[in-house]
Structure formats: C-alpha cells, structure tokens
Amino acid sequence: MITVENLTKKFGTVTAVDRVSFTVEEGTIFGFLGPNGAGKTTTISILCTLLSATSGTARIDGHDCTREPSEVRKRIGIVFQDNTLDKELTAYENLLLHAYLYNIPGRERKERIGDALRFVDLYERRNEQVKKFSGGMKRRLEVARSIVHQPRVLFLDEPTLGLDPQSRAHLWEFISTLPEKHKVTVFMTTHYMDEAEICDTIAIIDRGTIIAQGSPQELKRQVGGDSLFLTTTDNRRAAADLKALLDLDAEERGDELVITVSGGESYIPRVVQALTDRVLAVRLRKPTLNDVFLHLTGKAIRPETTSSGEEMRNIVRTYRRKFDNR
C-alpha cells in the first residue's frame, strides 16, 4: 500500500530524513517510532503531499506522492499532530465541510458522517461547538473526520500527544479496530513505546535514518529475550544447580538471580522444579520496545516519554518547592 525508497529530505544543510526505505502492507498497522525530531513528521508530510522529497520516491497505492499529489490526496486521511478542527464550528459542521472537500455525494453525506461520529462515540454531541470539547474528544473527532471519505491509508501523527492516560486508552480502542472495521491501512507515529505494541510492523527511526524494522516480537527478540527474576533461599547454590541441571546462566543482581531466556513463561515450572522448595518468588519481565530502543541506540528514548501525569506531578512539585522556600 505504501512504498518508500531511499527517501531523503534536506532543509538547507540539515538532513531531516536520510535514505529511508520501507513498505507497508495493505490492512496492517504500521508504527513509525522514534524520539522527537527524528524525522517522523517530515516523512508523514512528504507522504501527505505537504512537502516534496529532495530525492527518492514515496508511493501510495501506486501513485507518486510528489508527482501525483491529487491522486494521493484522494486516498489518504490524516490526523495531524496538532489540532486542525475549526473550534467555532460544531462537530457535525466540521465533518460536513470535510465531506464537501472530498466530494462525497449529497445523499451519502449525512449517513457517512453519522456513522463516523457513532464510531468514536460523539454522535450525541454532534451539534456542539468543538471549543467545548475536551482534548480527547477533539482527537476522536479528528479520527472520525479522517475516515468520513473512506481513505485507503490513514495517517496518525502522534495521535495521543498531550492526552491523559484514560483518553489515550480510549482512543487506542478505536484505532486498533480501524483496519478491520474501515478497511484502512494505518500509518502512525508515536514516541510512546508502549502504544506501538498494537502495530503489526514497526520501523524505528533515529536522526533521520531507520535503525530497525520488524514486528514488535521480532524487535524484542533482538534484545535477547525475557528476564526471569528469582528469589531463593540460597542464591549461589541455586545458580550452580541451574547451570548443572538446566544449563542456564544465572546472574546475581542484588538479592535476585536473573536468567535471560526467550519464552520465559515456559521456564518457570522447570526452574521451580529443579530448585525444589528453594524458590521464594519468581518474577518475569518481558522486554519492552523501550528496551529495544535502548539496545539499538544505547540511550533511552528522550525524556518526553514521561506521561503527562508524571509531568503534571513534576510541575506541582516544582511549585511546592518555590512556595516552601518563601
């Protein structure tokens, strides 16, 4: 559905996107991951025909994004990083103008808008001005608007940015059902690694280049597997027994023994059996995409990943400190 080959975009001397290549299969969710400023939005802008590429090609459904922009525009829907609704208009009016822009025939307009609004649970509030909506509702309305014209590909650029955890979860419920319910291929960017778990394929981009591609499972496998944390009556003896009986390398980390294996759950019964009665606690930790990013780049994804709740708490803390100092 989307084919990108050696795509490069330069702004003056700065190379924002450097020879990026990937393909997105029809009906899948593709995640474009990376820290802020990695080149995600630039890539989306080229695919959405808002920017032209310096070199390389990008095609959507066989149409070149630079040379056939109007063919591409007919086939895509977009939820931009920042809100593009008209806040003075009602939810219904926003979608109605959209239906006109995409030349949806008169008799279908009302029904399609109604369906889209019901899909995101906003039908009851269709006649309210958008400025009265919460951040999460605005995002959902944007998702509704972007599917009114039944696009083949839907772009979601940081769809959950700035939303509270509850609204985020609510929004993902809708997004994850999009390919099936609306026959659409989803291309999304995010820097929340946990959100990328729902993707079928992920490409990780850092400083304008793609550093890894694959399914979330494949990427996590690169990290080396799951971590099994054991607390035993005697860690040193247990480690020796594990080596002898199961040929597992256990590492002592604080009060715990750590074993790195793939398919960690299946090892739990074997380990417990091998160490008859000496296991006090077992803890399994699956690698996250954050671990993948850390593994690939040697750094954690930049601090923007703190949840908005966390940020809020930090702000409150800072203010408290200021008041206390008085």
Partner 1 sequence: MKSELNAVYVVIAREFIKFAREKGRLISTLSRPVIWLFLVGGGMSRVVAPDDMGVPYMQFIFPGIIGMTILFSSIFSSVSILWDKEFGFMKEMLVAPVSRFSIVVGKALSGTLLSTIQALIILLLFPFIGLKLGAAQIFFILCISLVLSFCIAALGILIASFFENFESFNIIINFIVMPMFFLSGAMYPVSLLPPVLRLFTSVNPLTYGIDALKYMVFTEKKILTQDFPLGMDLAVIIAASIIFVISAGYVFERRK
Among 37, 50, 64, 194, binds partner 1 (CB under 8 A): 50
**Residue 76: exposure state from Cβ atoms within 10 A (0-12, 13-18, ≥19):** buried
**Residue 125: exposure state from Cβ atoms within 10 A (0-12, 13-18, ≥19):** middle
Beta bridge partners, 281, equal 231
Closest CA to 73 of 41, 33, 103: 103
| 3-state percent breakdown (helix, strand, coil) of the chain, nearest 5 | 45, 25, 30
Query: Is residue 300 within the footprint of partner 1 (CB under 8 A)?
Result: no
Task: Identify which range of 26-34, 97-105, 208-216, 243-251 contacts partner 1 by CB under 8 A.
Answer: 97-105
Give the shortest CB-48-to-partner 1 separation in angstroms. Answer: 5
Sign of CA dihedral 289, 294, 296, 299: positive
What is the C-alpha to C-alpha distance for residues 296 and 287, in angstroms, rounded to an integer? Answer: 13
Give the shortest CB-138-to-partner 1 separation in angstroms. Answer: 11
Closest CB to partner 1 among residues 51, 196? 51
Closest CB to partner 1 among residues 74, 295? 74
Give the shortest CB-131-to-partner 1 separation in angstroms. Answer: 11
Task: Identify which range of 84-92, 184-192, 227-235, 309-317 contacts partner 1 by CB under 8 A.
Answer: 84-92
Sign of CA dihedral 44, 69, 5, 31: positive
Among 6, 67, 87, 320, binds partner 1 (CB under 8 A): 87
Please report, in angstroms and rounded to a whole number, the separation of the first and last CA atoms in the chain. Answer: 61
Among 61, 93, 128, 197, binds partner 1 (CB under 8 A): 93
Closest CA to 101 of 150, 149, 46: 149
Give the shortest CB-206-to-partner 1 separation in angstroms. Answer: 24
Query: Is residue 78 within the footprint of partner 1 (CB under 8 A)?
Result: yes
* Count of positions on this chain that bind partner 1 (CB under 8 A): 26
Query: Is residue 311 within the footprint of partner 1 (CB under 8 A)?
Result: no
Query: Is residue 98 within the footprint of partner 1 (CB under 8 A)?
Result: yes
Query: Is residue 97 within the footprint of partner 1 (CB under 8 A)?
Result: yes
What is the C-alpha to C-alpha distance for residues 209 and 193, in angstroms, rounded to an integer? Answer: 18
What is the C-alpha to C-alpha distance for residues 285 and 295, in angstroms, rounded to an integer? Answer: 16
Task: Identify which range of 74-82, 116-124, 229-237, 300-308 contacts partner 1 by CB under 8 A.
Answer: 74-82
- The phi-psi region of residue 6 (left if phi > 0; otherwise alpha if psi is between -120 and 50; otherwise beta) is left
Closest CB to partner 1 among residues 154, 202? 154
Query: Is residue 100 within the footprint of partner 1 (CB under 8 A)?
Result: yes
Query: Is residue 102 within the footprint of partner 1 (CB under 8 A)?
Result: yes
Closest CB to partner 1 among residues 61, 93? 93
Q: Which positions touch partner 1 (CB under 8 A)?
A: 48-52, 70, 73-74, 76, 78, 80, 82-89, 93, 97-98, 100-103
